[in-house]
Amino acid sequence: MVDQAAMNSKRNKGELIVVCGAKGGIGKTLISINLAIALQKNRKQVALWDGDFQFGDVDISLNLQPTFTMEEVIESMDSLDQYSLESLMTVHESGVAVLPAPRRPEFADLVTPAILTKTLNLLLERYERVVVDTGAGITEQSLSLLEQADQILLVTTSGLSPVKHTKSILEIFDALELRERVRVVINRSTMESMAPIEKILETLQIDTAYTVPNNFSVAHASLDEGRPLTLYKSKSDVARAIFKMAETMETGAPIDPIVPPKTSFFKKHSLKH
């Protein structure tokens, strides 16, 4: 287990935020991209690292055509320093510096723990906030990043399957003594066909969570068009929720209490099993 205090004193700079989730298609990339931009708008120097090394699509979701990706980082590892790594980043119009996933999925196997550690340390020397968008589930690579994270966002939706698997991941975090760094994000939280928020909290055995409302058509279009909501639709309900999340994370304030809806729409199934 990584000694968090020792790690912080060694890097003496940036903060690592890792976004993870049990399944694909639950909104990790949407939240990672927009959180990074929200932090950048808060006058922070932010790097966004696509940590889904096999099938990451952060660059596509930002409408970037990067010259370099994690492939070139791997190839340059022997001589890599803070300045050469910065030259391999692609700067988005928001100001966020992006390190895309490799172009070819087979390069994912070349991302060793040593490469992860060196790349991360260099990013943290240069940027005040490093946001990592990981792939689905927990892999050896994502676990290495999670153990070094200052804050972990565990994304789920309010469906039966995502909540079940999110509970399993929380149990893993308990076993790894990472639970104190974890905050749950319930994406599409206002979907009427899904479980009520209070039931999800009860199932996950947590008191509160960040919530991002359901606005699927707007969110989906923003990813397809490469136009992040926090940049192009900053007044949308989804963008406002992510701005609030960023503010809370920066200030260390408690997450706002969740007010249950007046009517529960989902009573046919139980989330207890």
Q: Residue 7: pLDDT above 60?
A: no
Return d(Cα 82, Cα 224) in angstroms, integer. 32
- Whether 19 is in a domain gets the answer yes
Whole-number percent of the chain with pLDDT over 70:
90
- Whether 99 is in a domain gets the answer yes
Question: pLDDT band at residue 158, thresholds of 50, 70 and 90?
Answer: confident
Residue 5 has a pLDDT of 45
Q: Residue 270: pLDDT above 90?
A: no
Instruction: Give yes or no for a contact between 145 and 114, defined as CB atoms under 8 angstroms apart.
Output: no
- Whether 261 is in a domain gets the answer no
Q: Residue 8: pLDDT above 90?
A: no
Instruction: Give yes or no for a contact between 181 and 38, defined as CB atoms under 8 angstroms apart.
Output: no
Return d(Cα 59, Cα 86) in angstroms, integer. 16
For the residues 144-171, what does the mean pLDDT come to? 95
For the residues 6-14, what does the mean pLDDT come to? 58
DSSP bridge pairs for 257: none
For the residues 63-84, what does the mean pLDDT come to? 97
Residue 175 has a pLDDT of 97
Q: Residue 108: pLDDT above 60?
A: yes
> Quick one: which of 241, 197, 250, 247 has its CA closest to 215?
241
- Whether 157 is in a domain gets the answer yes
Return d(Cα 238, Cα 212) in angstroms, integer. 6
Structural domain of 137: 11-247
Residue 121 has a pLDDT of 97
Q: What are phi and psi of 100, to 5 degrees?
A: -75, 160
- Whether 45 is in a domain gets the answer yes
Residue 257 has a pLDDT of 79
User: 72 vs 3, 214, 249, CA distance in Å?
Assistant: 30, 37, 32
Return d(Cα 11, Cα 155) in angstroms, integer. 27
Which of 7-16, 34-43, 130-139 has the weakest average pLDDT? 7-16
Residue 191 has a pLDDT of 86
Q: How many domains does the chain have?
A: 1
- Whether 60 is in a domain gets the answer yes
Instruction: Give yes or no for a contact between 243 and 230, defined as CB atoms under 8 angstroms apart.
Output: yes
- Whether 39 is in a domain gets the answer yes
Q: Residue 266: pLDDT above 50?
A: no
- Whether 268 is in a domain gets the answer no
**What are the pLDDT digits (tens) for 218-254?**
999 999 999 999 999 999 999 999 999 999 999 999 9
Q: Residue 263: pLDDT above 90?
A: no
Domain harbouring 108, CATH code: 3.40.50.300
Q: Residue 268: pLDDT above 60?
A: no
Return d(Cα 198, Cα 204) in angstroms, integer. 10
Question: Tokens 């992510």 label which residue?
Answer: 242
Instruction: Calculate the average pLDDT of the chain.
Output: 91
- Of the two residues 42 and 48, the one the predictor is more confident about is 48
Q: Residue 200: pLDDT above 70?
A: yes
